[in-house]
Amino acid sequence: MRAEQEARKQIQKDHGYNRLAGCVPVFVQVPVFLGLYQLLQWMSVPDASAGRKIGVLADAEIASFRDTTFFDVPLSAYVAMDESQFAFLGTTQEATLKVALPFIVMAAVFTSGNLLINQVRNRTMLERALSGTARA
């Protein structure tokens, strides 16, 4: 185990690999995605944005977002809404779950599969590097 760690450090040093450099895109993307999530969630709440502009979006554009449906469920509906908000949007929590749950499961399966594939690939590449059979 210790030899594997030392070999990994040596390979990283030889190839100029910097683990912190891999975090930079995440630090840039996370605030953008959180802001987008908050914007979409705020636009989804009927009472909070009624008659107000959100940045450059006019009230008509916000209303258009609320009127858009996906499999007969408004895009602005989310599972944690209370019953009055579902009633305002003309849907139910059950209908929203029927649309959202398959996408949540697919995201979990694809993410787990990608993680597994990356772990196998990393282990294979490290074993090749340690044995000296790595391809250029």
Contacts of 88 (CB under 8 A, 6+ apart): 46
Dihedral sign for Cα atoms in the order 2, 114, 94, 51: positive
The mean pLDDT of 123-127, rounded to a whole number, is 88
Q: What is the pTM of this model?
A: 0.56
- Cα dihedral 27, 31, 34, 40 sign: negative
pLDDT bracket for residue 120 (50, 70, 90): very high
Tens digit of pLDDT for each residue in 79-108?
888 888 888 888 899 999 999 999 999 999
User: Going along 15-115, which residue ranges are E strands?
Assistant: 69-70, 73-74
Instruction: Return the closest-CA partner of residue 89 out of 124, 128, 46, 49.
Output: 46
Residue 26 CB partners (closer than 8 Å, separation 6+): none
